[in-house]
Structure 1
């Protein structure tokens, strides 16, 4: 079916659609990963965004039941150059087309994605409307202008769990062994779910922790009570979507946690929310950093880590007033990780669980255990 794409810089494109038909809004970002499209699409941090894949052919290995990073696809949709008409992998259960239909999301193909990536680099992330229903440019423009901006929407409440639960699964479904090891370790972490990836929870269990996941709006006083009673030994602030500065209540609750000096690890959005809680406002990057191939230098030992990234916002340089900068991104020299000077708190911008991506950043979870 024909599809029509209108960008806020007045670019109008025609292409072809797969997945669910309809009209969808979002912010256009590009991802440089060569593999892992299912993990990327199911990462809740992409809520409200359209993903442009720089890998030219997508869909080759199909999709399966095990590689999802959440139960849903929260991204608005995907834009790709070439859709593979067949898929082949021994783990595959479904085509990419069927996967998007199941999750009621749209895919657009037969596009010059190099052109789109260059445009995003020049103009920054752009708002976009994609439709199989509206073909008139002016109608698309009008609809886009009336739609909400990503900075105005609290996507966290959409992607977070509604009820707390215990996560027992380790890496590669090693449920019983990993969870029994965690029980023996007598260390338990409370995960605040702002859009947590399943593989992060798996890695926390694999590292030897009991893991209980709480909704985004859990009260700090409740966690502090658990901490003082010895029922938890630390708090994990997860990744998630959207503009961190609009999450006023979440930031206020984190500020309460820091005052009690509970050991905390923050990743991605959690990293950004911590910065805001300490009074250092985050800022929006021109086109963000999205991919599984971003080099980061560990300033403690001067080693280079190849990391998985997915963020549009970053913490300011001024954060060094209250935290040691431990990592820097070598693509932009921006702050990538910190250790707070007077608090048992560490945080990183990248995703050390790295699915899909390399594995050399997983020591972060061990450092968190040492803090506890």
Structure 2
């Protein structure tokens, strides 16, 4: 089936569809990862976005439940050069096409992804509309112009859990632990779910930390009470989609946690929310960081870690007034990690759970446990 794309810079493209049939509006970004398309599509942080994959062959290993980063796919759609309907992997349970249709996600192929990527690099991330039913350029333009932009939508309300639950799986186990397999729990934390990835929870458990996941509608007073009663030893602020500046209620609650001197660790959106809650607003990058090959320098050790990234927003440089920079992105020298000077709080912009290698970043989760113990 044909698919039609209209971007806000006026570009109109005809391609083919291999996913759900629909008309969808979202922000287009590109991802430079060589593998992991299923993890990317099921990462809640991609809610509201179309992902252009620079890897030309997509679909060749199929899809399986074990590699899901959440309960469903969250991206608006994916754009690929060539879709491989015939998959080959002993772990595969279904094709990427059937996965996309099941989750009502658009898949667009036979498109020049190199052209799209270069355009995004030059002009920046932008809004687009894709359709399998509307081929008229002017009609698509009208739909796009009358749709909300990604920064106008609070996607956290869509992706955050609605119930409180415990997570008891680790990175090295596909099922819940038996008693003799469980890591020794040395601390307990509350994970505030803004769109948390399952493997982040797995890594926290693997570090020896007990996890209770709570909705984004949390009340700081409840967490402060639990901390003083020694029910929890700290708070983790998760990754998530969208513009952190729109999350006014969450910012106010985090400010209360900061004032209470509760040990906290944030990743990606959590990293940004900590900056804003300290009074330093984030800014939007031209085309963001999306991929599994971003070199980040650890300012303490001097080592370079190859990291996975997925964000369009960044903390400002003047935050060094209240925090020490622990990690720096070597692509553009933006801040990738912070340790706050007068608070038991630190955060990173990249995803230490994603394991792109070769210099891994999982040690950061153990640093959180060390902070809690101190």
TM-score interval w.r.t. the shorter chain? over 0.9
State the match for 1:334 in structure 2.
334
The answer to whether structure 1 residue 8 and structure 2 residue 8 are counterparts is yes
Provide Cα deviations, 1:33-90, integer angstroms capped at 9, x if missing partner.
Answer: 0000000110000000000000001000000111010111110000000001200000
How far is the alpha carbon of 1:178 from its aligned partner? Answer: 8.2
The answer to whether structure 1 residue 65 and structure 2 residue 60 are counterparts is no
Task: State the 4+ residue runs in structure 1 displaced beyond 3 angstroms.
Answer: 177-182, 355-359
RMSD: 1.3
Closer, same or farther in 2 for the Cα pair 1:178/1:205, shift >3 Å? farther
Is residue 328–residue 336 contact of structure 1 (8 Å, CA) maintained in 2?
yes
| SS of residue paired to 1:66 | helix
| SS of residue paired to 1:271 | helix
State the match for 1:295 in structure 2.
295
The answer to whether structure 1 residue 106 and structure 2 residue 109 are counterparts is no
Total equivalences in the alignment: 371
State the match for 1:173 in structure 2.
174
How far is the alpha carbon of 1:312 from its aligned partner? Answer: 0.1
The 1-side partners of 2:180 and 2:287 are apart by 39
The 1-side partners of 2:242 and 2:305 are apart by 26
How far is the alpha carbon of 1:174 from its aligned partner? Answer: 5.7
Closer, same or farther in 2 for the Cα pair 1:204/1:97, shift >3 Å? same
Provide Cα deviations, 1:292-321, integer angstroms capped at 9, x if missing partner.
Answer: 110000000100000000000000001100
The 1-side partners of 2:359 and 2:195 are apart by 21
The 2-side partners of 1:179 and 1:240 are apart by 33
The 2-side partners of 1:169 and 1:361 are apart by 19
State the match for 1:140 in structure 2.
140
How far is the alpha carbon of 1:360 from its aligned partner? Answer: 1.0
State the match for 2:118 in structure 1.
118
State the match for 1:87 in structure 2.
87
Unmatched runs of 5 consecutive residues or more in structure 2: none
How far is the alpha carbon of 1:238 from its aligned partner? Answer: 0.1
Q: Report matched runs for 1:239-278 at 5 Å.
A: 239-278=239-278
How far is the alpha carbon of 1:18 from its aligned partner? Answer: 1.1
The 2-side partners of 1:23 and 1:176 are apart by 43
State the match for 2:161 in structure 1.
161
Is residue 26–residue 48 contact of structure 1 (8 Å, CA) maintained in 2?
yes
State the match for 2:350 in structure 1.
350
How far is the alpha carbon of 1:173 from its aligned partner? Answer: 2.0
The 1-side partners of 2:222 and 2:358 are apart by 36
Is residue 134–residue 140 contact of structure 1 (8 Å, CA) maintained in 2?
yes
TM-score by length of 1: 0.98
Is residue 63–residue 95 contact of structure 2 (8 Å, CA) maintained in 1?
yes
Is residue 28–residue 52 contact of structure 2 (8 Å, CA) maintained in 1?
yes
The 1-side partners of 2:180 and 2:120 are apart by 44
| SS of residue paired to 1:62 | coil
How far is the alpha carbon of 1:140 from its aligned partner? Answer: 0.2
State the match for 1:360 in structure 2.
360
The 2-side partners of 1:287 and 1:357 are apart by 23
The 2-side partners of 1:266 and 1:212 are apart by 15
| SS of residue paired to 1:211 | strand
Closer, same or farther in 2 for the Cα pair 1:358/1:310, shift >3 Å? farther
How far is the alpha carbon of 1:186 from its aligned partner? Answer: 4.0
The 2-side partners of 1:70 and 1:224 are apart by 28
How far is the alpha carbon of 1:177 from its aligned partner? Answer: 5.2
Unmatched runs of 5 consecutive residues or more in structure 1: none
How far is the alpha carbon of 1:176 from its aligned partner? Answer: 1.6
Provide Cα deviations, 1:110-129, integer angstroms capped at 9, x if missing partner.
Answer: 00000000000011001000
Q: Report matched runs for 1:2-41 at 5 Å.
A: 2-41=2-41
Q: Report matched runs for 1:296-335 at 5 Å.
A: 296-335=296-335
